[in-house]
Amino acid sequence: MEMRITALIVALGLLLTALHGGWNISDITVLFVVNLGNSLLAARKSGLLKSQRLFSYHI
């Protein structure tokens, strides 16, 4: 039942997107950046990504 509701929501979203004129490249870019940010935040909170400097060189 839950899968049917999810499929219905996705189908309605695709229909509304098609009626609105489709996706812009800026829409896709914004969604990508937001999803990437959420993924990095979740990884940091779970401890998979420790807050440390990348590219830290010792001279």
pLDDT at 11: 83
Q: Is residue 34 part of a domain?
A: yes
Boundaries of domain holding 31:
24-49
For the cut 80, the answer to whether the pLDDT of residue 9 exceeds it is: yes
Q: Is residue 35 part of a domain?
A: yes
Say how far apart CA 34 and CA 55 lie, in whole Å.
24
Three-state secondary-structure class, residue 21: coil
57: its two tokens: 């060189």
Q: Is residue 42 part of a domain?
A: yes
Domains in the chain, number: 1
Looking at residue 47, its amino acid is G
For the cut 70, the answer to whether the pLDDT of residue 45 exceeds it is: yes
Q: Is residue 37 part of a domain?
A: yes
Q: Is residue 19 part of a domain?
A: no
The answer to whether the pTM exceeds 0.85 is no
pLDDT at 20: 75
Q: Is residue 4 part of a domain?
A: no
Say how far apart CA 11 and CA 15 lie, in whole Å.
6
